[in-house]
């Protein structure tokens, strides 16, 4: 798919590929995309973090009473800084150096210039060095020192967005009824804008979809600001790559006999369907999270109440698929079948990336209570002054 002026020519050729795999399945790449074949029945029950990552590092965030983070909903890594979104509790953006030193906080709730009611997500305009806050029907532009610059208004409603490059942004609708862009009762899920004017719409769905039966994505844009954005569309087993000039199919996740069928998709359009009927009572797999580094694709998927963590190594084609049944889990979702044999803390799902490493976070108390068991001298020095009431700790996981 290529942009030409304000239009796109769609040119994906779909191929059927038969593959054989080890440690669940390997992948086969053709000129158009890579097929990653998964057999959920062969997933592992436990692996060590050292089997996946060559290094795991921790960044304690400077804590003071004026700048307490309630929760971390998004992490951006750009140049020598970390940008953290706390969407619901403080409704703020926090900026830190990469060694955890506090730099500034954007906390401007209201209805005036540069103010917002809610921040849905954030991105970086890497062409002009601008921090972008998506607030619903507008993007607020700040400089990299936290100063408000201007507001960009537009007429689409979306769940999330990201800057692609060359003054172009991508917005994900999450099956929202953007009626102005409907075509013959079909609504787009993907919007590409240039200077915040829509130049392309794609990934159409029928407007009669039952949104009450759908579950949103944890993370569907993965952007390291190198010129390519990874994108996941809900209830779609495809990972796309977006560039300023193209939208292409990058990976197809083939679940074999557990891939979604026509009857499954019919449920999405049934007015009486429930979330349980769509997601819990079918023998199908559904991808709910994705992020990508230069060497590794990570995605998480559900099979009924069983959640799978999958790491696909691009160089070797090796796949590690490890799962846990959370239906009877008493850990509050904190248990992971990926055992931390490096620092004996716990694995956190890698929702974010800088292109080289995955990023996540862990609450300070989870590390503080294990200080005595940490033996690595470098790690011990980093956390020696950490208290259980401190801001969350950023986890940096570098895949092998």
pLDDT digits (tens, 9 = 90+) for 347-361: 999 999 999 999 999
Q: Please give the helix or strand (H or E) that residue 94 lies within, else none.
A: strand 92-97
For 18, phi then psi, to 5°, come to: -100, 130
Q: Which among 69, 56, 57, 140 is positioned nearest to 102, based on CA atoms?
A: 69
Whether pLDDT at 7 is above 50 = no
- Between CA 100 and CA 104, with CA 101 as vertex, the angle to 5 degrees is 115
The residues spanned by each domain of the chain are 2-50+117-351
CB 22 within 8 A of CB 4: no
CA 76 from centroid of its chain's CA atoms: 11
Q: In the block, which residue shows the tokens 């794609």?
A: 202
What is the predicted pLDDT for the residue at 13?
26
What is the predicted pLDDT for the residue at 87?
95
What pLDDT band is residue 215 in, cutting at 50, 70 and 90?
Answer: confident
- Residue with the larger pLDDT of the pair 382 and 330: 382
CB 300 within 8 A of CB 287: yes
What is the predicted pLDDT for the residue at 304?
86
DSSP-derived pairing of the beta strands 7-9 and 2-4: antiparallel
C-alpha to C-alpha distance for 146 and 33, rounded to whole angstroms = 39
Count of beta carbons in the 10 Å neighbourhood of residue 303: 20
pLDDT per position as a tens digit, 185-198: 999 999 999 999 99
C-alpha to C-alpha distance for 304 and 300, rounded to whole angstroms = 13
HEC per residue, 174-218: CCCCCHHHCECCEEEEEEEEECCEEEEEEEEEECCCCHHHCCCCC
What is the predicted pLDDT for the residue at 189?
95
- Mean pLDDT, residues 212-224: 88
What is the predicted pLDDT for the residue at 31?
52
Count how many residues are written for the chain: 400
C-alpha to C-alpha distance for 42 and 52, rounded to whole angstroms = 18
Average pLDDT across the chain, whole number = 89
DSSP-derived pairing of the beta strands 246-254 and 34-37: parallel
CB 226 within 8 A of CB 242: no
Region of poorest pLDDT, from 7-16, 29-38, 108-117, 323-332: 7-16
Whether pLDDT at 288 is above 50 = yes
What pLDDT band is residue 92 in, cutting at 50, 70 and 90?
Answer: very high
C-alpha to C-alpha distance for 190 and 176, rounded to whole angstroms = 11
- Mean pLDDT, residues 285-300: 96
CA 241 from centroid of its chain's CA atoms: 13
């Amino acid at each position: 798919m290529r942009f030409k002026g304000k239009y796109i020519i769609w040119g994906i050729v779909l191929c059927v590929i038969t593959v054989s795999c080890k440690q669940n399945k390997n992948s086969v790449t053709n000129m158009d995309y890579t097929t990653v074949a998964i057999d959920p029945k062969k997933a592992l029950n436990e692996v060590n973090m050292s089997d996946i990552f060559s290094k795991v590092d921790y960044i304690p965030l400077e804590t003071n009473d004026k700048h307490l983070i309630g929760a971390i909903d998004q992490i951006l890594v750009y140049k020598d800084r970390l940008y953290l979104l706390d969407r619901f509790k403080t409704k703020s953006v926090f900026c830190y150096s990469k060694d955890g030193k506090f730099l500034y906080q954007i906390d401007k709730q209201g209805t005036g210039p540069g103010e917002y009611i809610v921040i849905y997500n954030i991105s970086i305009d890497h062409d002009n060095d601008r921090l972008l806050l998506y607030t619903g029907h507008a993007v607020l532009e700040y400089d990299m020192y936290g100063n408000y610059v201007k507001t960009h208004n537009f007429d689409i409603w979306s769940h999330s967005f990201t800057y692609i490059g060359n003054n172009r942004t991508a917005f994900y609708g999450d099956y929202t009824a953007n009626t102005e862009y409907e075509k013959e009762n079909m609504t787009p899920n993907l919007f590409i804008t240039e200077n915040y004017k829509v130049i392309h719409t794609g990934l159409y769905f029928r407007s009669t979809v039952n949104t009450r039966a759908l579950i949103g994505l944890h993370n569907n844009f993965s952007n390291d600001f190198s010129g390519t954005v990874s994108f996941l569309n809900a209830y779609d087993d495809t990972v796309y790559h977006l560039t300023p000039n193209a939208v292409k199919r990058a990976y197809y996740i083939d679940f074999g006999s557990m891939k979604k069928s026509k009857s499954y998709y019919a449920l999405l359009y049934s007015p009486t369907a429930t979330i349980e009927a769509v997601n819990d009572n079918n023998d199908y797999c559904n991808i709910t999270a994705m992020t990508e580094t230069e060497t590794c694709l990570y995605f998480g998927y559900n099979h009924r109440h069983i959640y799978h963590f999958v790491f696909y190594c691009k160089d070797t084609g090796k796949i590690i698929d490890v799962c846990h049944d959370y239906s009877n889990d008493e850990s509050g979702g904190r248990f992971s079948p990926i055992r931390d044999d490096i620092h004996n803390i716990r694995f956190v799902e890698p929702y974010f990336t800088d292109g080289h490493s995955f990023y996540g976070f862990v609450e300070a108390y989870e590390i503080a209570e294990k200080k005595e068991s940490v033996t690595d001298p470098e790690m011990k020095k980093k956390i020696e002054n950490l208290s259980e009431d401190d801001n969350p700790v950023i986890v940096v996981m570098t895949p092998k």
